[in-house]
Amino acid sequence: MQNVSLDHTDRKILDLLQNIPGINATAIGERIGLSQSACWRRMQRMREEGVIRDQAVILDREKVGLTTMVFAHVKLTSHGRSNLKLFAEEVSNCPEVMECYVLLGNVDFLLRIVAADIKAYEQFFFETLSQLPGIQEVTSSIVLSDIKHSTVLPI
């Protein structure tokens, strides 16, 4: 993956997009001294280059009834590329899994999972997660409280 060249103005645009949900090109342009069309062109270029991947709404998981968050360390029985790929494909279909990372070290994957409560996680664990192909071991850590959670990159 190649870095994209971003100037100071591009970085200002990205900072505003990250910190002010729903801000449009006109408002950004007014804040940074750029016309709406020039700002829109820069934003469009950054979308085409993949710098701006999406503009998502971020929900409060607890307010929508997902009060339990779990980090699961998953170790597979075999480290062949096919096992990693198969597990990754299967876990991608689990809506409870919010994030999945391949790791170097003594475990193969780190998953961030949300559930309504511990009972719901237990059901997901026994009926879905532990049934995925190639799993040797899963170590689950229940999150007690969120100290910091951000989607804003320090650009």
Q: What is the CATH number of the domain that holds 102?
A: 3.30.70.920
| Side-chain half-sphere CA neighbours of 140 within 13 A | 16
pLDDT given for residue 1 in this prediction = 61
pLDDT given for residue 152 in this prediction = 85
Residue 59, token pair as written in the block: 């929900």
- Segment 21-41, tens digit of pLDDT: 889 999 999 999 999 999 999
Instruction: Classify residue 1: in a domain, yes or no.
Output: no
pLDDT given for residue 85 in this prediction = 86
> What backbone torsions phi and psi does residue 141 show, to the nearest 5 degrees?
-120, 120
Q: How confident is the model at residue 96 (pLDDT cuts 50, 70, 90)?
A: very high
In total, how many domains does the chain have?
2
Residue 89: domain span: 68-142
CATH number at residue 22: 1.10.10.10
Least confident window among 36-45, 72-81, 93-102: 72-81
pLDDT given for residue 133 in this prediction = 84
Pair 44, 88 in one domain: no
Q: Which of 141, 132, 76 is nearest to 109 (CA)?
A: 76
Q: How confident is the model at residue 134 (pLDDT cuts 50, 70, 90)?
A: confident
Instruction: Classify residue 101: in a domain, yes or no.
Output: yes
Alpha-carbon torsion (88, 148, 13, 60), positive or negative: positive
